[in-house]
Structure 1
Amino acid sequence: MNNNLIVVIGPTAIGKTNLSIKLAKHFNCEIVSADSRQFFKEMDIGTAPPSKEELDQATHHFIQHKSIHDVYNVGDFEKDALKKLDTLFANHKYAVLVGGSGLYVDAVTRGLDYFPEIDVNIREKLQLEYQNKGILHLQEQLKVLDPEYYATVDLQNTHRVMRAIEVSMSSGKPYSSFITSSKKTRPFNVIKIGITADREIIYNRINQRVDIMVEKGLTEEAESLYTHRKLNALNTVGYKEIFNYLDNEWELDFAISEIKKNTRRFAKRQLTWFRKDETIQWFDYLENIDNVIDHITQNTL
C-alpha cells in the first residue's frame, strides 16, 4: 500500500478549501469533497462551495453533483467516494479529502457502522411529531435518549436527529452505542490534518461569511427554492432561517443573526466531533504551508 489520502478537516469557514487546493497543487493530485451540504447544485450561495476560480486551480469531485430532489445519503457517498479514490490512486500517489461533515469523512476513512432495523411505526410517529411539534420537540427527545450523540450532532439537521431517535427507540439502546471505534481496512494510508483557531476568530470568520452570502443573494436564492423547502437537503442552516423570514415569522435582520448563531453552534459541534479523533494533527489556520507539507511527507507511505 503506497497510496496516501490527505484529509483536511476543521470547523466551517476556517479555510479548508484554500489549504486543500495548496496541498493538491503541491502533491499533484485531485480533491474529493466530503461536505454534504455542497453536493447539491441548486444550493450555490448558502453552502459556500468553492468558487469557479478555486475549482479551476485543482480538480474537485462531489461538488454540486446532485440535485436537491435526489435521494443521496452517507452510505451512497461512501461507495461513490471509494470508487472515485480507486480511480485517482491509479494515476496518483496522493488524493485530498476535504470537508467539515465528520460522518462523511469517517465513512470514507473508517467505514460506516451497522444499525438495527427500524420499527416503521416509530418512524411514522416521529414524522407526525415533527410536523405537529417541530424540531425542538425532537431535540429534547434525543437529549434524553442519547445525551452523548446530542452533544455532537447537528441539531438543526432533522434527518440525523430523527435517525438517532428512531434507532434508540427501536433498539432500546442509545444511537451512539452503535457507533464503534472499529476501523475497516482501507487500501490507502490516511493522514489527517485539522485546521483550527481561537473561538473568537472562528466566530468572526463565520459572521463575515454569512454577511458575504447575504451580499451575494442568499435571500433571493432561498426564495427561488421556497416551494421545495420541505426537502431534506434544504432543512439546513442558512435556508431554514430565510424561509422563516419568507413566511413572515421573522424580520430579515433577525433571520440573518440566527444564521450566524446556528452556524457558530454547528462549528462547535464539528470541533467536538473531530477532537475525539486522536489521529488528527492540528494546525493553526495561519500555519506556514511548508510545515503542513513536512508533516504529510513524514507520514507518507
Structure 2
Amino acid sequence: MKTPVLISIVGPTAIGKTALSIKLANYFNTEIISADSRQFFREMQIGTAAPTPSELSQAQHHFIHHKSITDNYNVGAFEKDALERLETLYKTYNKVIMVGGSGLYVDAVTKGLDDFPEVDPNIRIDLNARLEQHGLTDLQNQLKILDPNSFKSIAIDNPHRVIRALEICLGTGQAYSSFLNQKENKRPFKTITLGLTADREIIYDRINRRVDIMMEEGLLNEVRQLLPYKEHNALNTVGYKELFNYLDGTWTLDFAISEIKKNSRRFAKRQLTWFKRDKSILWFDYLTDNKKIIAEISNQLI
C-alpha cells in the first residue's frame, strides 16, 4: 500500500493559500484540513479571513469554525484531533491537503510538538503579575534580550506566547528557541510542504487591501458583538483587539484600522521568519501557475 501524503500549504497572511488549497483539493479529489488557529472559532469569521460559504462548498473542509471562543482549545488538542482526522481520511484518500499560516499548529501535525523541561510554576505567576502591572511591552523587551530568535518568530503580540517563551528562558537559563526542533516524531504519512510568497511590498499591499475589505464586510459589527467576551484568549488577536480599543474609546476608528494593517504586516513578517527555518519547503511566487505547482508535487511523489 502506498504511503499516504499530506500536502501542506503555508505562507504569510493574504497570500492566497485558501484559493490554492481548494484548487489542489479538487485536482487530487480530496479534502482539506485547516491549520489556521484563528479560524477554529465560529464567532470569528470576517476578521480571520475564513473561507467563505462559496469556498467551503467547493471542497470538504475540517477544523473551520468547529469551536467557540469560550472553549479551551490549544495546539496540543489540535495535534491530537488532526492526527485522528487524518487517520480517518487516509482510509478514503491517499492525499490530503492541509492549509494554514499558524506555524506552530502546522509543525504540530507534521513534526510533533517539542519537549520542554519542567520549570518552577511560580515563574509564570510572576510573569502574569508583571503583565498586569507593567504591560506586555515589558515582557517583550526582556524576551528580546534573552532570546532574540524567539522575539523575531513567535506571535509577539500574544501575551501567552511571550510568557511561555520567557518562563522557559528564566526557568532553564537557556533560550526557548534552543528547545525547538530537537526531535521529529515519526508520522505515518509523507509531507510535502508548499510555501507561497511574494515581494514584501506586494504582501503588504495585499494585507492592506484585505483589511479594507474586512471593514466593508462588517468587521466592526462582528467585533462589537464580541465585546462582552473580549478577555477570552481567542480574541487577543489582530483585527479584534484593535477594534476593542476603538469601541472602548481609547482610539479613533481610523487609527484602529491603521493598527490592524500594521500588526497584520508584522504578523506576516513573523510567519515568513518561522517558515523560512524549514529548508524542505518548496517556495512558489503567489502568481505561479497551478499546473507548475502540481507538476512539482508529482515530482515529489516519484
TM range (shorter): over 0.9
Paired position in structure 2 for 1:189: 190
Q: Which whole-Å CA distance do the structure 2 matches of 1:253 and 1:290 have between them?
A: 42
Paired position in structure 2 for 1:201: 202
Q: Which whole-Å CA distance do the structure 2 matches of 1:124 and 1:224 have between them?
A: 32
Paired position in structure 1 for 2:220: 219
Q: Which whole-Å CA distance do the structure 2 matches of 1:118 and 1:182 have between them?
A: 20
Q: Secondary structure at the match of 1:100?
A: coil
Is the CA contact 1:17–1:98 (under 8 Å) kept in the aligned structure 2?
yes
Paired position in structure 1 for 2:68: 67
Q: Secondary structure at the match of 2:38?
A: helix
Is the CA contact 2:8–2:192 (under 8 Å) kept in the aligned structure 1?
yes
Could you report, residue by residue, the CA deviation over 1:71-117 in whole angstroms, capped at 9, with x for unpaired residues? 11111111100000000111001000100011111111111111122
After superposition, residues 1-301 of structure 1 pair within 5 angstroms as 1-300=2-301
Is the CA contact 1:189–1:300 (under 8 Å) kept in the aligned structure 2?
no
Could you report, residue by residue, the CA deviation over 1:34-75 in whole angstroms, capped at 9, with x for unpaired residues? 000111111111111000000000000000111111111111
Is the CA contact 1:40–1:63 (under 8 Å) kept in the aligned structure 2?
yes
* Mean CA deviation greater in 242-251 or 256-265: 242-251
2:151 is matched by which residue type in structure 1?
A: Y
Q: By how many angstroms is 1:182 displaced?
A: 2.6
1:158 is matched by which residue type in structure 2?
A: P
Q: Secondary structure at the match of 1:50?
A: coil
* Mean CA deviation greater in 47-56 or 175-184: 175-184
Q: By how many angstroms is 1:148 displaced?
A: 1.0
State the percentage of identical aligned residues. 59
Q: TM-score, normalised by structure 2?
A: 0.97
Q: Which whole-Å CA distance do the structure 2 matches of 1:258 and 1:132 have between them?
A: 23
Q: By how many angstroms is 1:2 displaced?
A: 1.8
* Mean CA deviation greater in 164-173 or 261-270: 164-173
Is the CA contact 1:34–1:97 (under 8 Å) kept in the aligned structure 2?
yes
1:242 is matched by which residue type in structure 2?
A: L
Q: By how many angstroms is 1:181 displaced?
A: 4.3
Q: Secondary structure at the match of 2:301?
A: coil
2:60 is matched by which residue type in structure 1?
A: T
Q: Which whole-Å CA distance do the structure 1 matches of 2:30 and 2:258 have between them?
A: 39
Q: Secondary structure at the match of 2:98?
A: strand
Is the CA contact 1:196–1:282 (under 8 Å) kept in the aligned structure 2?
yes
1:109 is matched by which residue type in structure 2?
A: T
Is the CA contact 2:35–2:102 (under 8 Å) kept in the aligned structure 1?
yes
Unaligned runs of 5+ in 2: none
* Mean CA deviation greater in 137-146 or 29-38: 137-146
Q: Which whole-Å CA distance do the structure 1 matches of 2:228 and 2:138 have between them?
A: 24
Could you report, residue by residue, the CA deviation over 1:169-197 in whole angstroms, capped at 9, with x for unpaired residues? 12221111111243111111111111011
Could you report, residue by residue, the CA deviation over 1:108-146 in whole angstroms, capped at 9, with x for unpaired residues? 111111112232211111111112222111111211121
Q: Which whole-Å CA distance do the structure 1 matches of 2:159 and 2:82 have between them?
A: 24
2:24 is matched by which residue type in structure 1?
A: L
Change (3 A) 1:181 1:291: farther
Q: Which whole-Å CA distance do the structure 2 matches of 1:221 and 1:118 have between them?
A: 39
Unaligned runs of 5+ in 1: none
| Number of residue pairs matched by the alignment | 301
Q: TM-score, normalised by structure 1?
A: 0.98
Is the CA contact 2:25–2:31 (under 8 Å) kept in the aligned structure 1?
yes
Q: Which whole-Å CA distance do the structure 1 matches of 2:262 and 2:40 have between them?
A: 23
CA RMSD between the two structures: 1.0
1:206 is matched by which residue type in structure 2?
A: I
2:190 is matched by which residue type in structure 1?
A: N
Is the CA contact 1:35–1:100 (under 8 Å) kept in the aligned structure 2?
yes
Is the CA contact 2:114–2:182 (under 8 Å) kept in the aligned structure 1?
no
Q: Which whole-Å CA distance do the structure 2 matches of 1:206 and 1:98 have between them?
A: 18
Could you report, residue by residue, the CA deviation over 1:251-290 in whole angstroms, capped at 9, with x for unpaired residues? 1000000000000011011011111111111111110100
Q: By how many angstroms is 1:25 displaced?
A: 0.2
